Amino acid sequence: SDTKIAFVGLGLMGVPMAKNLLKAGYQISGFDLNQEVAAKFSDDKGFQFVSSPEQAIQDANLTILMLPDSTIIDALLWGSNGSAGIATQLSKDSYLMDMSSSSPISSKENNQKLEKLGIKFIDAPVSGGVKKAIDGSLAIIVGGKKEYFGEIHSLLECMGKSIVHVGDAGAAHAVKALNNYVSAAGLIAASEALNAANKFGLDPHVVNQVFNASTGRNNTTENKVENFMLNDAFNSGFSLALMRKDVQIALNFIENMNCYANLAKQCVLTAKEADEKLGKGADHTAMFDYVRSAAL
Ligand code: NAD
């Protein structure tokens, strides 16, 4: 392929996603603040770890971002503390594809500014976690011009299975934040329910089986309770800090639409309390651990 990719943000998700692009024959210039990630690509062909984002985007016709949040992305694009951003250095007519779970409001603004610079912006957040990132079977939600979607589709197929275009720039980030809010609400509800059931003397494994055969089933009861929660493993690969960020984005969005947001507010509060109590590095499935020990 003559597509040269710059990949910025090689964390838990970025590494397996980049590896699937390399497997398909793409060339990647990768950058992450954490230089230790370079070693993860020692067996991959076509990968070069570079020492700055400016170097990564040189001659790239597609730049992929897989970073934590919009604050970091805005600083990277437009600069911060006197340092220049990379936006003005991106090649004209090249793509900038933000695959992070970013704020839809920031993405809409970034799209307008990038359009003026001749850069084609796409928001393409993903769902499915580290396991599906490794399998190349992520659900990818795409926002931006429909013609861009056509041009980028085959590349996205290297990383994902369900690839859906939902609207203009920012639309996919909105859908992603709302999805993660619904998912977080399910995690918190399951954690509270299983904790109380346990206290009543019930076997939480049996209770969860009943949920899964009944209307209470959700992604947490089906995929997280046995694998990461009741066994105290708390290692799904998606951090509590990122979940907290996602529910905050969803709440901002719902309020921005002037819509009822009572449960979203509670989820933000619970995620904040749990994140502060459990500290840096906690997995989002440790919500169950927080609920078990939380003061009333
Ligand atoms: P992560 O924390 O593992 O990775 C983020 C990476 O970005 C880290 O390696 C960090 O060093 C790097 N980074 C931070 N600031 C940087 C900067 N200024 N320049 C270069 N690199 C920088 O996070 P992740 O789990 O890979 O998630 C990335 C994004 O994908 C987030 O928006 C998250 O919400 C979303 N997401 C995560 C999952 C999951 O299951 N982990 C699933 C779907 C979506």
pTM metric for this prediction: 0.96
Clarify whether residues 21 and 139 are in a common domain: yes
What percentage of the chain carries pLDDT values higher than 90? Answer: 97
CA-nearest residue for atom 30, ligand 1, is 100
Clarify whether residues 129 and 212 are in a common domain: no
Among candidate residues 168, 192, 225, the one where a domain is terminated: 168
Residue 8: CB within 6 Å of ligand 1? Answer: yes
What's the rounded mean pLDDT across residues 14-18?
98
> What pLDDT is attached to residue 83?
87
> What pLDDT is attached to residue 2?
81
Q: Is the pLDDT of residue 11 over 80?
A: yes
Query: 234-279, pLDDT tens digit by residue?
Result: 999 999 999 999 999 999 999 999 999 999 999 999 999 999 999 9
What's the rounded mean pLDDT across residues 145-163?
97
Range of the domain at 148: 4-168
Among candidate residues 131, 152, 168, the one where a domain is terminated: 168
At 174, the pLDDT band (50, 70, 90 cuts) reads very high
Number of domains in the chain: 2
What percentage of the chain carries pLDDT values higher than 70? Answer: 100
Clarify whether residues 96 and 215 are in a common domain: no
In DSSP terms, 49 is beta-bridged to 30
Residue 141: CB within 6 Å of ligand 1? Answer: no
Q: Is the pLDDT of residue 1 over 70?
A: no
Ligand 1: which atom is nearest the Cα of residue 14? Answer: 26
| CATH number of residue 55's parent domain | 3.40.50.720
Clarify whether residues 148 and 14 are in a common domain: yes
Of the residues 19, 108, 132, 176, which is catalytic? 176
Mutational pocket test of ligand 1: of 7, 15, 31, 32, the residue with most ligand atoms within 8 Å of the beta carbon: 32
CA-nearest residue for atom 25, ligand 1, is 12
Q: Is the pLDDT of residue 131 over 70?
A: yes
Per-residue CA distances from 96 to 65, 226, 269 (Å): 8, 39, 33
Among candidate residues 131, 151, 168, the one where a domain is terminated: 168
Clarify whether residues 91 and 223 are in a common domain: no
> What pLDDT is attached to residue 296?
86
- Taking all residues of the chain, what is their mean pLDDT, rounded to a whole number? 97
Residue 100: CB within 6 Å of ligand 1? Answer: yes
Query: 48-74, pLDDT tens digit by residue?
Result: 999 999 999 999 999 999 999 999 999
Terminal CA-CA length for the chain: 58
What's the rounded mean pLDDT across residues 29-38?
98
Clarify whether residues 9 and 110 are in a common domain: yes
Residue pair 105/170 in contact (Cβ under 8 Å)? The answer is yes
What's the rounded mean pLDDT across residues 154-172?
98
Q: What residues have CB less than 8 Å from 128, skipping those under 6 apart?
A: 137, 138, 139, 160
Clarify whether residues 151 and 194 are in a common domain: no
Query: 178-228, pLDDT tens digit by residue?
Result: 999 999 999 999 999 999 999 999 999 999 999 999 999 999 999 999 999
| CATH number of residue 207's parent domain | 1.10.1040.10
What's the rounded mean pLDDT across residues 140-145?
98
CA-nearest residue for atom 6, ligand 1, is 11
Clarify whether residues 250 and 144 are in a common domain: no
Clarify whether residues 260 and 143 are in a common domain: no
The answer to whether residue 23 is catalytic is no
Q: Whole-angstrom Cα distance, residue 156 to residue 152?
A: 6
